[in-house]
Chains A and B, each alone.
Chain A
Amino acid sequence: MTPPASVPVLSAEGLSVSFDGRTALSNVSLELPRGRIVSIIGPSGCGKTTLLRCFNRMNELVEGAHTAGAVRFEGFDLYAAHVDPVEVRRQIGMVFQQPTPFPKSVFDNVAFGPRASGFKGDLHALVEEVLSSAGLWPEVAAELDAPALALSAGQQQRLCIARTLAVKPSVLLMDEPTSALDPTATARIEALVHSLKGTYTVVIATHDLQQAARLSDLTAFLDGGDLVEYGPTETLFTNPRDPRTESYLTGRAR
């Protein structure tokens, strides 16, 4: 039974994160609706990456990280004592800023996640399916055994997206997925993200304001670890409530 659309897929309540006592995120609360694209914008060091990593418990891989508050996925507390972070990361996938293909073949890259979680079905069919979803299949179908590091940066990033989809997550977290790519590769990734809308809930941290405006239904603006404003992308961009949002969007120094 799928929960009604009104229940948010992910929500944060009073979420604060610090690293070795240095606050990175303070008292953030927001709800992410199902099947939508949500972008997180804000200046460098504002906590975009930290917020993303709260959603799949990646922050705890960093020594000295401390998380307070609650993160709920389908209503369940992700940080409850009995929750296994490995299971969380199979439900909530992540794509990183730098394309990080494993030094293995294209096929093995995609197959890594399913193999790790003990996938029993037809691995070849799954690999073809997710590579097609990522728009990479026509380019690599003939050379699945070729090393992934031989692909172009844009192809590598699409491979990383395909690899994440192969674990069958319901949420996709993307941490500035196009910031290391050229405009053509960026356009392809954006088209891909757009095509995932509806099937997946996508949270994308970006410093490219146009990208946020083009892609997302909702936008959150973070500054200095505070959630300054969160709402429909169009409203936030055309009619920001908070003067801090306005000055960031117009590029004015404060």
Chain B
Amino acid sequence: MIFLRYHGKVGTACAVGAWTATAGLILLAGFLAVRGWGVLDPAFFLSSPSRDPGRAGIGPALAGTLWLALLTVAFALPVGVGAAVYLEEYAPKNRWATFGESVVVSLAGVPSVVYGVAGLAVFVRAMGAGRSILAGGLTLAVLALPVVIATSREAIRSVPDGLRRAAYGLGATRWQVLRHQILPAAAPGIATGSCLAFTRAVGEAAPLLVIGAASFVTFAPQGPGDPLISLPTRIFAWTTHAQPEFGALAAGAAIALLLLLLAANLAVLAARRRMRRAYL
């Protein structure tokens, strides 16, 4: 068996660690599947939450999470990539740039619940967005932003300098070099890093609970102005019920969330492959 091959002491320790982690993940997924499998039927994905666990579903929450994902990407991707381009290609490399860089790095480590508190003050109250999908999407976008900036910077920095020089040497303007050489070359790296940031943000419950996610909404949100609901907060709400039937619902909703994030990751992976192929 492959995992019993002897790799030396360090190799063996690493292999044990890797297989333990893998086993943990499989166990987790298996547990969820056993708990939640029974509730997974088409009606579960479409119907609204209900006091009757037999009829409850994740329809509105799923729609809310899709809305949140859309808004998060729509806000954080252009702003994050723009900031990264500015910092790498335009900003003078001085003390301020170093300071800005360290701020971005530390923001990436701020706990998500803190973003919730800030989102409540800024988007819900000061901006007057209320406890809406919009306020939630903006909060998650800000949460994802530091990681989007950091990984985009890394991707832009790893574009070979020869490519820049060659393009400038042919009389390209700064914008042309950026648009036709740097961004296409950095795109796969930006996509991978940003995807991680977005899946993490969209899976967050804490900041949405802080800004006030509705726990009981029976209609699917039609736009950013509708009440804030999401899958993670739906899962949280169900876990607070005492009856075991609601536990099964939470597990089923968790499976749905995992499948959604997995699908997003696979889509980005496929897009990245296409970009790489075009790149060669």
Contact = CB atoms under 8 A, between A and B. Distances in A.
Interface stretch (A67-75, A111-119, A230-238): A111-119
A86 to B, nearest CB: 5
A89 B170 contact: yes
A56 B166 CA distance: 12
Interface string B136-174: 000000000000000000000000101111111111110
A87 interface: yes
A115 B74 CA distance: 31
Contact of A112 (B160, B172, B279): B172
Nearest to B279: A103
Contact of B166 (A86, A90, A100, A150): A100
A149 B166 contact: no
A63 interface: yes
Contacts of A93: 169-170
B181 A102 contact: yes
Interface string A116-133: 110000000000000000
B170 A163 contact: yes
A37 interface: no
Given A63-B93, A86-B173, A103-B185, A112 B167 contact: yes
B92 to A, nearest CB: 8
A56 B168 CA distance: 10
A160 B93 CA distance: 31
Interface of B, helix, strand, loop or mixed by DSSP: helix
A149 B279 CA distance: 9
Interface of A: 56, 58, 61, 63, 86-87, 89-90, 93-94, 96, 98, 100, 102-103, 112-113, 116-117, 147, 149-150, 160, 163-164, 167
A87 B184 CA distance: 24
A30 B181 CA distance: 35
B169 A116 contact: no
A94 B166 CA distance: 8
B200 interface: no
A58 B171 contact: no
B84 to A, nearest CB: 18
Contacts of B171: 86-87, 89-90, 113, 116-117, 167
Contacts of A98: 162
A108 B84 CA distance: 27
A89 B280 contact: no
Contacts of A167: 170-171
A89 B173 contact: no
